[in-house]
Amino acid sequence: MNKMNEKKKEMLKQLIKQLHAGVSPLEVKERFKRVLEGVDALDISRIEQELVNEGMPREEIQRLCDVHLTVFREQLEKQKLDIPLGHPLSILMEEHKIMLQLAKKLAAITNKVQQATDVSHVGDEIGHLKHLAEDFRDAEKHYLREENVIFPILEKHGITEPPSIMWTEHNQIRDRNKELHNLMENHTSVKFQDFQKQLGEIAGVLRSFLSDHFFKENNILFPSALRVITNDEWEEIRKEFDEIGYCCFTPLRLTVPRETKEVKKEETEESDKAEKMLQFETGSLSKEEVEAVLDSLPVDISFVDKEDQVKYFNKAEGRIFVRTKAVIGRKVQQCHPQKSVHVVSSILEAFKTGKKDVAEFWINLNNRLIHIRYFAVRDKNGNYLGTLEVTQDITNIKKIEGEKRLLDWKA
């Protein structure tokens, strides 16, 4: 929003403040009718960001996001997005349509189940519900692409509030998806009446929540992204999307590899051979060797520098948590859900002050035991350089018993 619209910007801030003070959306819409004309998604994103910068709690913005939407909806629906086939946003929006169709189908099948008197009468419906639960579970790739690729780039362009709100909602959707999956996995051990009740609650919340969430993304997040993200960045985003992968229901026509310009190789073979070696106290390695060694480690590692910015991650085979190049330079606090940011900040502060050197946790993820450790990285004089995160699947390690010696190895 430019300086010519400074007055309008201040009036829109007043509009949001009045909503937070409890004035009804209808009254606010009427009072600010003229100001609302021409407001677009980027305006809303930047206004919310400025209000947070001025001291309005982020949680307050998130809590009343739906109230804001009630006032701005009419203006937002006037936006027309021209997005080519295969563009990252066209993929995400098509997935939105399909997930809404899945939610509608879930509601219809749930309605049939609710009318039955016994589980024996809904055998086919139970089968369909299991498939739907798997589809919603596989939608995780959709949210990972947004959180690990789109969000970091938006933050670099100064748009932080909409991504933060969307991530919070992603976690709420994940909770509902998990509830549905667990219910279907254990439905035989639940009384049919309880199954009907739980299924009805999940289906109702999921359909309503997805509809509201996708509207916000399609009409605020994505239009803002189109305004600020460059063509070169979109090219990189698409590559990162391909690397993370797509949902089982993502249309193939959107995800087939696009033609790329063939780049002629420069005659640099001689200079490559003469690549400068990195000298260490215990030996020397080339950049290629260092990268290969780090990527060969049976652990995921990420390094955050002393300014709390993500500086490096390895590309270990079968990474446990998704990492994309878009996170490089991102504040590590922005790489975590809002509910856990205070814990991350506490760990970093303990490392910086020297109170702690290690923090470790373990979680169950997809029936695997995951060990997560944070190590303070210091120079020879004890000065804090940053934090190393090491994540490892220790499921099979915990099963080790006895011993297996070198001479026991067979090709």
| Cα dihedral 244/247/250/255 (nearest 10) | 20
Both tokens of residue 344?
Answer: 């991350």
Please say if the pLDDT value at position 367 is more than 60. yes
- CB-CB neighbours of 139 under 10 Å: 22
Please say if the pLDDT value at position 270 is more than 70. no
Mean residue pLDDT of the chain comes to 87
- CB-CB neighbours of 343 under 10 Å: 12
Both tokens of residue 133?
Answer: 């639960």
Give the C-alpha separation, 157 to 151, whole Å: 10
Give the C-alpha separation, 98 to 18, whole Å: 37
Looking at residue 274, its pLDDT comes to 46
Please say if the pLDDT value at position 134 is more than 50. yes
Residue with tokens 């859900």: 337
Buried b (16+ CB within 10 A) or exposed e, 349-367: ebbeeeeeeebeeeeeeee
- Residues contacting 334, CB < 8 A, separation 6+: 151, 152, 155, 160, 164
Residue with tokens 């999956």: 181
Percent of the chain scored above 90 by pLDDT? Answer: 57
Looking at residue 275, its pLDDT comes to 58
pLDDT digits (tens, 9 = 90+) for 306-336: 999 999 999 988 889 888 888 898 889 888 8
Please say if the pLDDT value at position 268 is more than 60. no
Task: State phi, psi for 64 to the nearest 5 degrees.
Answer: -105, 20
Both tokens of residue 383?
Answer: 């000065």
Kindly report each contact of residues 292-298 with a partner whose C-beta sits within 8 Å and lies 24 or more positions away, as own/partner: 298/392
Banded pLDDT at 360 (limits 50, 70, 90): very high
CB distance 14 to 8 below 8 Å: no
Its pTM stands at 0.75
User: How are beta strands 278-280 and 384-393 bridged, if at all?
Assistant: unpaired
Both tokens of residue 195?
Answer: 């199954």
For residue 272, give the H/E element and its range.
helix 269-273
Banded pLDDT at 269 (limits 50, 70, 90): very low
Among the residues of 149-256, which ranges form H helices? 151-156, 161-185, 192-216, 222-228, 231-244, 252-255
Among the residues of 4-122, which ranges form H helices? 6-20, 25-31, 33-36, 41-53, 58-63, 65-76, 88-115
DSSP secondary structure, 126-172, as one string = HHHHHHHHHHHHHTHHHHHHIIIIIHHHHHHTT--HHHHHHHHHHHH
Banded pLDDT at 37 (limits 50, 70, 90): confident
Percent of the chain scored above 70 by pLDDT? Answer: 93
CB distance 393 to 368 below 8 Å: yes
Looking at residue 81, its pLDDT comes to 81
Looking at residue 1, its pLDDT comes to 43
For residue 290, give the H/E element and its range.
helix 287-296
Please say if the pLDDT value at position 180 is more than 90. yes
Give the C-alpha separation, 230 to 153, whole Å: 10
Looking at residue 336, its pLDDT comes to 85
Please say if the pLDDT value at position 79 is more than 80. no
Looking at residue 408, its pLDDT comes to 87
CB distance 162 to 76 below 8 Å: no
Give the C-alpha separation, 238 to 260, whole Å: 12
Give the C-alpha separation, 206 to 201, whole Å: 8
Looking at residue 44, its pLDDT comes to 81
Give the C-alpha separation, 363 to 290, whole Å: 30
What domains lie within the chain, and their CATH numbers?
3-76 (no CATH), 88-255 (1.20.120.520), 284-398 (3.30.450.20)
